[in-house]
Chains A and B, each alone.
Chain A
Amino acid sequence: MRVQFKMNGGFVYLPARSEPTTIDTDDLPAEEAKELERLMEAAGFFELPKTSSPPRGAADYLRYTISATTPEHSHTVHFTDPIEDPHLQALVEYLEAQTN
């Protein structure tokens, strides 16, 4: 599975923070690959709506884009903070940690 993660926006615009990160589970140690696949599945990633809008009047929120491709599926989702689903929160925190 190939996963691309991009963050954008926030209180301050940092061009470097907007650069997408790509992770291929084939390149990860088996345990880490399994963890990412588990997080994707727990979040129901391939069933998530393509776009979720921020609450009315919200500002300075981070905007996230996650794309994932497997031999069977390809899906891209766009959403912003605050993230209500704890499973999606966990996935974002994992992917964010990979960008650091």
Chain B
Amino acid sequence: MPQQQGHRHSIFCIVPPDVLHDIARSGAEEERQAALETLAADSTFRTLRAIRQAAPVATASPATVSLAAMVGTGEAKQLQRTIFDCHNSRSLPGDPLRTEGAPATGDPAVDEAYDGLGATYDFYWETLRRNSIDDQGMPLNGHVHFGNRYNNAFWDGQRMVFGDGDGVLFNRFTIAIDIMGHELTHGVTEKEAQLIYQGQSGALNESVSDVYGSLVKQYHKGKQAAEDADWLIGEGIWADPDRGKALRSMKEPGTAFEGDRQPGHMDDYLNTIDDNGGVHINSGIPNRAFYLAATGIGGYAGEKAGPIWYAALRDPRLKPDASFVQFARLTVINAEILFPSGDERQIVQDAWSEVGVVIQI
């Protein structure tokens, strides 16, 4: 359950953020304090979105955007992890084995889940000023040793569940830090956009999880530059390394393992009824678009490409049944809003074009 939040001045909840900024700057002391508290309880990007809603996109000035971006949340970190041991049963939740602040247990699955969820929380907090899954400090529950030789990890709508793998096909699913980032991001996507888990919107849902899973890994490696990152999802998970290097490659979709059918271009989009309409297959297309945008912009992708995709995910114009083109269009629009004086917008648009998603704006 989300932790209880501090009281917010209800009247300010309906006041546009730009008015709040004015009050915070020049109102009477009591008003200033109340406005600051309300702004502090909001996140940078939520404020940014509200500003965009209050003012037409074309008139959102750089000054307005930078003002919003400078507003700190003022919230304290609310990292609260619990790792449960399912004892190789498929029954949830299992028994809590490691809670927040407790020392390492020596059980790799428990400790990897604990560390991976911590790194993911820190990435979202530091890079996107997001306070956990719901942006309100939602506790992070990871459940390991799920099932007997269970070859999967999933998000059940509330919690992250990891199997041990059967040791023949797969190793344990906590072995790669991006898998924790991937699963937690499904929670973020559900809170923000409710992308329907079918067809193109489902592939976008999957891709967003791969994008932030990969960025968690790059963040964890010391804010690695995009050009230096491996862009692999699930590295080390194959029990037999000869089977493949990972489960997906965002850089070169279709090359992660023998039999990898991920396309990297719309020409190869796979129409199928399996896998919820190919959500883990066609996600290769938006994955590669992100890789191209991130490397085109250069540097640590958490600084620009990550925030652009995040702004698109939180854009109120993003519909639950969004197509690739509709999502792509929002990334281009938000690139322009976030970085109006740079060439980020063109780089993002070119990245989508290169994977066959052509946007007319």
Contact stretch, chosen from B67-75, B100-108, B153-161, B309-317: B153-161
A58-89 CB mask vs B (1 if < 8 Å, else 0) is: 11111100000000000000000111101001
- A100 / chain B contacts, CB cutoff of 8 Å: 166, 168
CB < 8 Å A-B pair total: 99
Q: How far is the CA of A3 from the CA of B275 in the complex (A)?
A: 22
- Complex Cα gap A15–B281 (Å): 11
Interface of A is mostly: loop
B234 & A59 in contact (Cβ 8 Å cutoff) = no
Q: How far is the CA of A99 from the CA of B48 in the complex (A)?
A: 51
Number of interface residues of A (CB under 8 A): 29
List, in ascending order, chain A residues with CB within 8 A of B89's CB: 89
Which of B37-45, B50-58, B179-187, B340-348 binds A?
B179-187
Give the size of the chain B interface in residues (CB under 8 angstroms).
Answer: 40
Q: Which residues of A contact B353 (CB under 8 A)?
A: none
Most buried by A among B197, B209, B234: B197
Contact A16 B152 (CB under 8 A): no
The SS class assigned to the B binding surface is loop
CB-contacts of B266-292 with A (<8 A): 274-276, 278, 280-281
Q: Does A55 contact B (CB under 8 A)?
A: yes
Q: Would you call B275 and A57 a contact (CB within 8 A)?
A: no
Cβ-based interface call for B92 (8 A): yes
B213–chain A nearest beta-carbon distance, Å: 11
* Contact present for A61 and B156 (CB under 8 Å): yes
Residues of B within 8 A of A92 (CB): 90
Tell me if B79 is interfacial: C-beta within 8 Å of chain A: no
Residues of chain B within 8 A of A59, CB atoms compared: 154-155, 183, 186, 197, 205-206, 209
Q: Which residue of B lies closest to A93 (CB)?
A: B148
Chain A interface residues (CB < 8 Å from chain B): 8-16, 18, 54-63, 81-84, 86, 89, 92-93, 100
